[in-house]
Structure 1
Amino acid sequence: MKPYGKLSQEELSELLGILTRRDPSVLLGPAIGEDAAIVDLGDKVLVTHSDPITGASELAGWLSVHVVANDIATRGVKPSWLVTTLLLPQTFSREQLKKLASQIRSAADEIDATVIGGHTEITPGLDRPIIITTAFGVGEKEKFFTTSGGRDGDLLVATKDAALEGTSIIATDFHDKLLGKIDKSILENAKNFIHEISVVKEALTAAQVHGVHAMHDATEGGILAAALEIAYASRLSVVLYEEKIPLRRETAQICRALGLDALGLISSGTLLIAVQPESAPILIERLQKEGVKATIIGEFKKNGHSLLVKKTGEKIEIGLPIAEELWKLF
């Protein structure tokens, strides 16, 4: 039986080989590690991407907007329009549907985006809603970014803290299971991390800094997977320093209680940025002026294996795929 989460690189490569065809208007199509497709519109580009929400229930509507909007923003483009598909279990009530719709509308308003269409249905075999959202944005043809833009010697900057999304999902959906293991105030604080999962502001800020070469949203598989995906797409290796990766005490306590690795826990809200060394201080200063914490957590190299340098100094070789820690709870 296959594990939950992303397909292996071999399976995904085979799938892409079947699905894709050459089209000169497609400047960037489907590829491992890339966040969104880019289509030539003449002097502009259309940026689009789809994402499902499958591992959360209480926060599903809110997440569905921000997770996909983040992928548009990593291209340096503002997400403007959303198409939402709601696949609902038979037990889903009208009140639950209204709550879901309110979350979607609230999240869309927060980033100034508009829901322009979609589909709804009651789907057999589900025990929780599945929400699939497609986002669109239009940007300048000469000013977009890709995951594959990383360069040898670039530093890796992370915004905010690791595993914000995963921490919030666990504190919300597994609240009762954690009571008695984790102080209630810690769980309440952790639930509020959901309000920090948008990276739209920091991505659009970073896009204006000279020397930024690539951006990637840390989603499934957390910071480990996102860093490796930049490296893979850019044909580089990455060295991550565990002691430099920012982690909140709420995340540390919850992961310790459940036996999870925070670095492999879904981490929307953390934007990873590949930037040339001389531009890193400027980038960090610009982000801090916007109220966004930013930390150098690693570096990219042309040769060698990708490594995680533990706090003890031990060097562990890492590679794709990274199993998503959240799925261990299901």
Structure 2
Amino acid sequence: MRKGKLQQSVLVRSVFKMLGQKREDAAGPAVGRGVSAFAGEKETQVFSCAPVLVKDPEDAVLAVCRVCNSVAAAGASAKGVLVSLMLPEAMEEKDLKELMRAVDGACVRYGTAVIGGHTEVTDGVLYPVLTVTAAGGTTRAGLFDPSCVTADLDLVVTKEIALGAVSYLAKTRRDELLTRFSPGFIHGAADFSEDYSVCREAEIAIEHGAAAMQDLSEGGIFGALWEMADGAGIGLDVALKRIPIQQETVEICEFFGVNPYQMLSTGALLIAAADGEGLVQKMALEGIPSAVIGRTTSGKERILRNGEEVRYLDKPQMDEMYRVGR
């Protein structure tokens, strides 16, 4: 199997179809659904889980941000975080402390905290394996359901794509980048991590009546577009030149020879809404950059336009971060 998120065909065939037991009060696993949810009497409980191989403390930060952003995209906020750690025998305690400081610092950004978990040492791993689960609650319904995305909705992207990937590379591959770029340029790219949270833009989108949202994490904008469309059984018509991207991102991705449209994009949010331009204006009032990049369609074609050139969106590919040794 290839690295990264399990291929969708294998996921459906060998995971989803093996799960015969269902709960009537739960929104279970489905393509395009980034969270799980239980319907309660007063509110819906929302959960998101992400595992990560920790080669740098920044991996732990991204894992926490990913699950908290997923919960926010479902219309909730993370009340608490569960942390499970499988540690190699060779790991030193000082490195464990640094990892947990990174986890706690990421929790502070979201106004949440680690509320439990499990930690053990094993000879079965070479690097720490961290699994983070965020839990939250919401009185809103439907935002985590892919079927809420219908035809003739605007598609809006907040901030810029590949911020998570570029910030990670600027922090962990600084010496390589210094062979081409100035320290100031690299420092600016590393600071993209200050924009990892999508909580405020999610709140604005909900107030504006968004039909659905999806945080851009592994697989980048192309992966998120495919999952949103496939989960809803609809088509897309997207203009590549409208997708917001920083110049630093373009240059760093060129340096490593990777595609920013298929890279980890923690900090950006994909929103399906009836009035995309109105939503962009509301985001601007809060100092959050965003752009309408296209629309959903009633067909099944997922069109990408680059000026006069037209091509079609492929099924999600391996995240480009794996090509640079994440």
Relative to the length of structure 1, the TM-score reads 0.93
Distance 1:92 1:115, change over 3 A: same
DSSP-derived class of the 2:156 partner: strand
What is the alpha-carbon distance in structure 1 between the residues aligned to residue 138 and residue 98 of structure 2? 33
Q: How far is the alpha carbon of 1:62 from its aligned partner?
A: 1.7
Contact in 2 for aligned 1:157/1:294 (Cα 8 Å): yes
Aligned to 1:213: 211
Q: Which moved more, 1:230-239 or 1:267-276?
A: 230-239
Contact in 1 for aligned 2:143/2:213 (Cα 8 Å): no
Aligned to 1:250: 248
Aligned to 1:25: 25
Q: Which moved more, 1:174-183 or 1:129-138?
A: 174-183
DSSP-derived class of the 1:80 partner: strand
DSSP-derived class of the 1:79 partner: strand
* Aligned-partner residue type, residue 320 of structure 1: K
DSSP-derived class of the 1:102 partner: helix
Contact in 2 for aligned 1:167/1:191 (Cα 8 Å): yes
Unaligned runs of 5+ in 1: none
Contact in 2 for aligned 1:58/1:173 (Cα 8 Å): no
Q: How far is the alpha carbon of 1:126 from its aligned partner?
A: 3.6
Residue 280, structure 1, aligned to residue 276, structure 2: yes
What is the alpha-carbon distance in structure 1 between the residues aligned to residue 188 and residue 196 of structure 2? 14
Cα RMSD between the aligned structures? 1.7
What is the alpha-carbon distance in structure 1 between the residues aligned to residue 37 and residue 86 of structure 2? 27
Question: How many positions carry a matched residue from both structures?
Answer: 324
Unaligned runs of 5+ in 2: none
Distance 1:307 1:299, change over 3 A: same
Contact in 2 for aligned 1:43/1:141 (Cα 8 Å): no
What is the alpha-carbon distance in structure 1 between the residues aligned to residue 297 and residue 196 of structure 2? 29
* Aligned-partner residue type, residue 71 of structure 2: I
What is the alpha-carbon distance in structure 2 between the residues aligned to residue 7 and residue 288 of structure 1? 36
Aligned to 1:47: 46
* Aligned-partner residue type, residue 298 of structure 2: K
Deviations 1:214-236 (A, max 9, x none): 10011111001101111111111
Contact in 1 for aligned 2:161/2:261 (Cα 8 Å): yes
What is the alpha-carbon distance in structure 2 between the residues aligned to residue 56 and residue 284 of structure 1? 37
Aligned to 2:295: 299
* Aligned-partner residue type, residue 24 of structure 1: E
What is the alpha-carbon distance in structure 2 between the residues aligned to residue 122 and residue 253 of structure 1? 40
Distance 1:234 1:81, change over 3 A: same
Alignment of 1:104-115 (within 5 A): 104-115=103-114
What is the alpha-carbon distance in structure 1 between the residues aligned to residue 263 and residue 115 of structure 2? 32
Alignment of 1:73-222 (within 5 A): 73-142=72-141, 144-210=143-209, 212-222=210-220
Percent identity between matched residues is 28
Q: How far is the alpha carbon of 1:68 from its aligned partner?
A: 0.4
Aligned to 1:237: 235
* Aligned-partner residue type, residue 114 of structure 1: A
Q: How far is the alpha carbon of 1:249 from its aligned partner?
A: 1.3
* Aligned-partner residue type, residue 290 of structure 2: A
Q: How far is the alpha carbon of 1:144 from its aligned partner?
A: 4.1
Contact in 1 for aligned 2:143/2:211 (Cα 8 Å): no
What is the alpha-carbon distance in structure 2 between the residues aligned to residue 78 and residue 138 of structure 1? 7
Q: How far is the alpha carbon of 1:289 from its aligned partner?
A: 2.5
Distance 1:159 1:190, change over 3 A: same
DSSP-derived class of the 1:59 partner: helix
Contact in 2 for aligned 1:146/1:215 (Cα 8 Å): no
Contact in 2 for aligned 1:62/1:104 (Cα 8 Å): yes
* Aligned-partner residue type, residue 21 of structure 1: Q
DSSP-derived class of the 2:135 partner: strand
* Aligned-partner residue type, residue 237 of structure 2: V
Contact in 1 for aligned 2:57/2:98 (Cα 8 Å): no
Q: How far is the alpha carbon of 1:51 from its aligned partner?
A: 0.7
Contact in 1 for aligned 2:57/2:102 (Cα 8 Å): no
Residue 317, structure 1, aligned to residue 315, structure 2: no
Distance 1:4 1:316, change over 3 A: same
Distance 1:298 1:322, change over 3 A: farther
What is the alpha-carbon distance in structure 2 between the residues aligned to residue 271 and residue 184 of structure 1? 29
DSSP-derived class of the 1:227 partner: helix
DSSP-derived class of the 1:207 partner: helix
Contact in 1 for aligned 2:146/2:228 (Cα 8 Å): yes
Distance 1:162 1:144, change over 3 A: closer
Q: How far is the alpha carbon of 1:140 from its aligned partner?
A: 0.6
Deviations 1:44-85 (A, max 9, x none): 111011011237623023222111001111111111111011
What is the alpha-carbon distance in structure 2 between the residues aligned to residue 135 and residue 181 of structure 1? 39
Contact in 2 for aligned 1:145/1:213 (Cα 8 Å): no
